[in-house]
Amino acid sequence: MYKTVIGLEVHCELKTLSKNFSGSKNTYSTKPNENVTPVDLGLPGILPAPNKEAARSALKTAIALNCNTPDEVIFDRKNYFYPDLPKGYQITQVTKPMGKNGYLLVDVNGMPKKVEIHQLHLEEDTASLEHFNTYSLIDYNRSGIPLMEIVTEPCMNSADEAVSFLEALRNVFLYCGVSEADSKKGQMRCDVNISLMKDSDTELGTKVEMKNINAFSSVRASIEYEIKRQAKILDDGGKVIQETRRYDEEDGNTYTMREKVDAIDYKYFIEPNIPPVKLTFDFIEEIKKEIPVLQYERHLKYVNTYGLSEYDATILVREKNIADYFEEVISYEVDSKSAASWVTTVVLASLNKLNLTLKEFFITPKMLAGVIKLVDNNKLSLRQGQKILYQAIQDRKDPMAIIEESKIEQIEDKDTLIKIVNEALDESPDVVKQYKEGAYYAANFFVGSVMKKTKGQANPKLTLEIIKEEMEKR
Amino acid sequence: MVTKEKLKSYASKLMFDMDDAEYEILLSEFDVILRQIELINKIDNISDVKPMTFPFLDYERELREDKIEESLEIDEVLLNAKFKVNDQVKVPKVVE
Amino acid sequence: MDYRYSDIDTLRSLLSNNETTPESLFKEAKSLAHKYQSSINPFVTIVDEYQKESSNSYIDGIPYALKDNFSTKGMLTTASSNIMKDYVPVYDSTVYKKLKEAGAVLVGKTVLDELAMGGTGTTGHTGIVKNPWDLSRMIGGSSAGSAASVALGIVPFAIGSDTGDSIRKPAAFGGVVGFKPTYGRISRYGLFAFASSLDHVGCFSRIVKDAAIITDILKGRDKYDMTSLSDDDKVYSELLNNDICGKKLFYFKDICNPEYYKDSNDEILLKTLEEFHNTIEKCREIGFIVDEVPFKKDLLTAIYPTYMIISCAEATSNNANLTGIQFGPRAEGDNINDIMFNARTRGFSELIKRRFILGSFILQKENQEKFFLNASRVRRMIVDDMNKLFEEYDGLIMPASGGIAPHFDEASDRLSDRYLILENHLDIGNFGGYPSITIPSGFVDNMPIAINITGRQKEDDWVLNMAYKIEAKLGFKGQIAGGEDNV
């Protein structure tokens, strides 16, 4: 048996208005070369103008990942030739990355795992190449889009851990609002470094790098494949070659791309066109305030403090806006378990059915809290509550207004109910008789008739009690 | 040791080549420059000094506000490209 | 009418009094440009059609020349290199934009040493630029054509760039004024980068006041250049007359002393230094205090290698965009690497390639510390020592060169140790981003010589002010090459 050691390098495009070093629009685009300025083309004479928002987003993520932040923003050049790199160098960060030595707590199948972050740095994306039979086409739309790279320590030991980390990391991006992190649009891309070692070994085995894997499912499949492949080589007494491999989504195998000859010398040096900008205490504090409580921490709180089930807690924290919605509902002094159950059922089902986002959803947390309270205080039955809510969603109307207009309110006045119950008993003496003879289920028959008489507004629990009491009197 | 082979490999990493005679000239230039550089390395306490990238830094600097600017027209983007297809720059197939 | 001697003030008043028009000034300049093109070769492009934007700036209607490494939208910009021989920019450099908006009229784009990497004016892809004072001599570079066009009186001012001495040295050899203001005073956006941390924009003119007028137009913060300085809210051309009495200048001891070179038999060098000391005396006469000051010899000797290392390293990276893919001549080849490889092999001259290889060597991981970082350390040591001297002194005054413009066949030996410091001290101005100006200070063997004044960072006004006073005293103001019997 071998121990698997995995390190990840994750690239994430930041969601700013403009690109990292130019004012070109930063957007996912399908029309080639429409968001391009001279800077993105690397034309002679251009200079970089670093985007404050990109720096802020990278710092925000770095802080959320518990990293140390630098005292100033500074960039470096990474020099290499490639047709998707118009300047012949990429502006990145080596000297002072935005984050160093952080970690992220990850839930791996219910077990906590601390994934160590080596560093987080800000750089620019390359142009994109589209390949055809005999030629390739260059589209510069992507050139210069702010890109954040997160490098973990080689500290994960299974595909499960790697994928759980990626999911948690994606969640951090979404929670912090720094990226849409849509891997289908290439906004989140991953390089996997993987090696195998014997338990008795003290040094890491030879590592293989797999580049540009987008889908998390592919990350899992490629790791699982590589573990088998490398284990077989080792079992047969062979040596794993240090190389870069490509994962083929079609057949789920990995293939040699290039063997590592000598490492490319990127001839890094400080970007002389970007003088350092000091990061003030106030600036960093301001960013810290914007960082929300993250998924892992919320999940803990929901289970331990609010007493929610694992299941409900997991569903609620999956998306930050759902968790935020839930937290706002309970801020109106609603029982947290009830709130969880309403949000995970009615709210999510409606969103799903109507294909809406929470932003577009008509029912505010306050409205929902109002309905939940009425149900919890037995002013409405659960069914009534749900019905009203669905109607409110459909009519885009305040549920309280619906309740008022249709006078839907439970009849809880005991005297009123006694009167109605007796009417019902009088109307069906046969059933009364059966009840008296021991057919207690007959009580339900009278609950039904009382409901009919009250158009469903009688409090069912109270009605049943009164039926029993009145029966005793007969 | 700087050798002609080394110089050739530096050139090829920079994506060009030179005439053989030029490498000879360059080798002799390296002799001079390396000698001069040795003078630098002999300067007292040089290792205590922080390398300088910017002529001076005592002025206000800030990062750019995140605002969108107008893009070039597509024909401007492609004006200087010799080969283009579908509004993109065409190159021979790039194989990784 | 002959406008060749006219400064901007004169042209302004002629224009304001309707004694001439911008168009006739342009036509005159254009015809002079064509006249000298075959003998001197200052231009890559001479503008054919008169074009002007309306403006009411002081330089509205004044013709000028622009070095061919400033991006001009819709107009060929080559950096005098084959690798950009067909490149037509799609955007304007900030400098060109400002001049256009000020109503200045572009007459031509001037020849430079290929990619501005050189000091001879002989390496441009359209041929060598000759010195109008003596056609067997070089004008120097890299802003060769800009220096020549002003020296010839084709235009009253021209724009150049200066990474080591690329404005100030050819200005000296051409007998004109060359000013490089503080780093960041003028935006570099659209200037084809040579060595970004050393590159400056500046200008040539025939009198100091015109350099001040042009700098007034060009200076200011540019959102496209993060290293640009916010405006100091001074009008340099109105601050030239401040009293300089008691201002303190210094020059480097030993290397300005003729005794130091007494074994050399270099008559020109000795005469140049003698003239320099005459100039110093004249400075004292008008109220300057001038001292000779020792400066660490090992640092002075290190100026040239330090400059070479930093500039070649940055240049290697700055010119990595020249691959013929997105712009420039596309080379043939079966695969993408061959295309880039062939374009660069064919596009660069051998001299440029040698510099790039040096730059690449310097930046290699195993060499960075010893070469690149140590050079960057020396840079700081020199600048720190200069700043200390500037605590006491208002300026450094030096001969701009240890001689006159070299003949075309005698360039390289000036890199020998004897000349190393005297020929390269102007680089200090780039190391520390100091404002630095060269003004004509006389003649040796009928060729112009010059002095250079370098001042404190951001005190461009004082440097111009001091130069203005010295210029008035020396009496070589407004000269053009060959005088009345011009070619």
Residue-level pLDDT at A261: 58
Q: Which A residues 16-55 touch C at CB under 8 Å?
A: 38, 41-50
B93 interaction partners in chain A (CB closer than 8 Å):
131-136
CA distance C382 to C291: 19
Mean pLDDT, range A409-427, rounded to an integer: 82
What is the DSSP track for B4-31?
Answer: HHHHHHHHHHTT----HHHHHHHHHHHH
Closest residue by Cα to residue A337 from A298, A376, A389, A380: A376
Residue with tokens 């009615």: A346
H/E stretch holding C314 reads helix C297-318
Q: What's the DSSP call for residue A68?
A: B
Supply the pTM of this predicted model.
Answer: 0.91
Region at A151 (left for phi over 0; alpha for psi -120 to 50; beta for the rest): beta
| B86 inside 8 A of chain A by CB | yes
Give the number of B-C residue pairs with CB atoms closer than 8 Å: 166
Residue-level pLDDT at C486: 47
Q: What's the DSSP call for residue A343?
A: I
pLDDT tens figures, B68-84? 999 999 999 999 999 99
Torsion sign, CA atoms C475, C478, C482, C483: negative
Assembly ipTM: 0.96
Mean pLDDT, range A376-384, rounded to an integer: 82
Give the 3-state secondary structure of residue C173. Answer: helix
Give the 3-state secondary structure of residue C315. Answer: helix
Residue-level pLDDT at C483: 54
Closest residue by Cα to residue C76 from C101, C98, B74, C68: C68
B59 interaction partners in chain C (CB closer than 8 Å):
184, 229-230, 458
Mark C142-167 as b/e (b = at least 16 C-beta within 10 Å).
bbbbbbbbbbbbbbbbbbbbbbbbbb
Residue-level pLDDT at A438: 81
B61 interaction partners in chain A (CB closer than 8 Å):
275-277
| B10 inside 8 A of chain C by CB | yes
Residue A466 has pLDDT above 60, yes or no: yes
Contact B5, C333 (CB under 8 A): no
CB contact under 8 A, B14 and C356: yes
Mean pLDDT, range A200-211, rounded to an integer: 90
Residue-level pLDDT at B96: 63
Closest residue by Cα to residue A325 from A305, A307, A351: A351
Residue-level pLDDT at C413: 47
pLDDT tens figures, C246-285? 999 999 998 999 988 888 888 999 999 999 999 999 999 9
Residue B1 has pLDDT above 90, yes or no: no
pLDDT tens figures, A186-201? 899 999 999 999 888 8
Question: How is residue A304 written in tokens?
Answer: 């331990």
DSSP lists the bridge partners of residue C396 as C250, C454
Mean pLDDT, range A108-112, rounded to an integer: 90
DSSP lists the bridge partners of residue C180 as C436
Strands C63-67 and C105-110: parallel
pLDDT range class, residue A432, cuts 50, 70, 90? confident
Count each helix (H run) and each strand (E run) in chain C, helices first: 15, 13
Please list, in sequence order, all residues whose beta carbon lies within 8 angstroms of the beta carbon of residue C344, skipping any fewer than 6 positions away: B14, B15, B16, C83, C322, C323, C324
Contact C119, C169 (CB under 8 A): yes
Residue-level pLDDT at C241: 95
Kindly report whether the peptide bond that precedes residue C142 is cis, defined as omega within 30 degrees of 0.
Answer: yes
Of B22, B72, B82, the CB nearest to C90: B72
E strand spans, A230-358? 243-247, 254-259, 269-270, 277-278
Contact A347, A325 (CB under 8 A): yes
CA distance C325 to chain B (A): 7
C314 interaction partners in chain A (CB closer than 8 Å):
269, 272
User: Which residue type sits at C115?
Assistant: L
**Nearest-CA residue of chain C relative to B4?**
C357
Contact A466, A423 (CB under 8 A): no
Mean pLDDT, range B59-76, rounded to an integer: 96
Give the 3-state secondary structure of residue A137. Answer: strand
| A138 inside 8 A of chain C by CB | yes
pLDDT range class, residue C487, cuts 50, 70, 90? very low
CA distance C77 to C87: 6
Closest residue by Cα to residue C456 from C312, C264, C249, C230: C249
Give the number of A-B residue pairs with CB atoms closer than 8 Å: 107
Residue A130 has pLDDT above 80, yes or no: yes
Mean pLDDT, range A290-311, rounded to an integer: 94
Chain A: list its partners (3+ Cβ pairs within 8 Å): B, C
pLDDT tens figures, A443-465? 888 888 888 887 777 877 888 88
Closest residue by Cα to residue A19 from A124, A176, A97: A124
CB contact under 8 A, C189 and A83: no
Mean pLDDT, range C171-175, rounded to an integer: 98
As a whole number of Å, the end-to-end CA separation of chain C is: 17
Mean pLDDT, range A364-370, rounded to an integer: 94
Residue C482 has pLDDT above 80, yes or no: no
What is the DSSP track for C263-311?
Answer: TS--HHHHHHHHHHHHHHHHHHHTT-EEEEE---HHHHHHHHHHHHHHH
Instruction: Supply the residues of C annotated as catalytic.
Output: 67, 142, 166
CA distance A42 to C468: 40
Residue C484 has pLDDT above 80, yes or no: no
Contact C46, C107 (CB under 8 A): yes
Please list, in sequence order, all residues whose beta carbon lies within 8 angstroms of the beta carbon of residue A53, skipping any fewer than 6 positions away: A16, A17, B65, B66
Mark C394-426 as b/e (b = at least 16 C-beta within 10 Å).
bbbbbbbbbbbbbebeeeeebeeebbbbbbbbb
pLDDT tens figures, A56-89? 999 999 999 999 999 999 999 999 999 999 999 9
Q: What's the DSSP call for residue C114?
A: G
Residue-level pLDDT at B77: 97
CB contact under 8 A, A276 and B57: yes
Please list, in sequence order, all residues whose beta carbon lies within 8 angstroms of the beta carbon of residue A440, skipping any fewer than 6 positions away: none
CA distance C20 to C23: 8
Please list, in sequence order, all residues whose beta carbon lies within 8 angstroms of the beta carbon of residue A200, skipping any fewer than 6 positions away: none
Closest residue by Cα to residue A324 from A449, A221, A184, A177: A177
Mean pLDDT, range A235-245, rounded to an integer: 92
Question: How is residue A288 written in tokens?
Answer: 């810290």
Mean pLDDT, range C102-112, rounded to an integer: 98
Of C306, C327, C376, the CB nearest to B53: C376
Please list, in sequence order, all residues whose beta carbon lies within 8 angstroms of the beta carbon of residue C472, skipping any fewer than 6 positions away: none
C325 interaction partners in chain B (CB closer than 8 Å):
81, 89, 91
Residue-level pLDDT at A39: 98
Residue C408 has pLDDT above 80, yes or no: yes
C71 interaction partners in chain A (CB closer than 8 Å):
43-45
Chain C: list its partners (3+ Cβ pairs within 8 Å): A, B
CB contact under 8 A, C226 and A45: no
Residue A260 has pLDDT above 80, yes or no: no
pLDDT tens figures, C365-389? 999 999 999 999 999 999 999 999 9
Residue-level pLDDT at C94: 98
Averaged pLDDT score across all residues of chain C: 95
**Nearest-CA residue of chain A relative to C341?**
A81
pLDDT tens figures, C33-80? 999 999 999 999 999 999 999 999 999 999 999 999 999 999 999 999
Q: In what order do the strands lie in the sheet containing A76-79?
A: A89-92, A76-79, A269-270
CA distance C312 to C318: 10
Averaged pLDDT score across all residues of chain A: 92
CB contact under 8 A, A49 and C223: yes
Residue-level pLDDT at A264: 83
CA distance C246 to C286: 9
Residue-level pLDDT at C417: 63
As a whole number of Å, the end-to-end CA separation of chain B is: 33
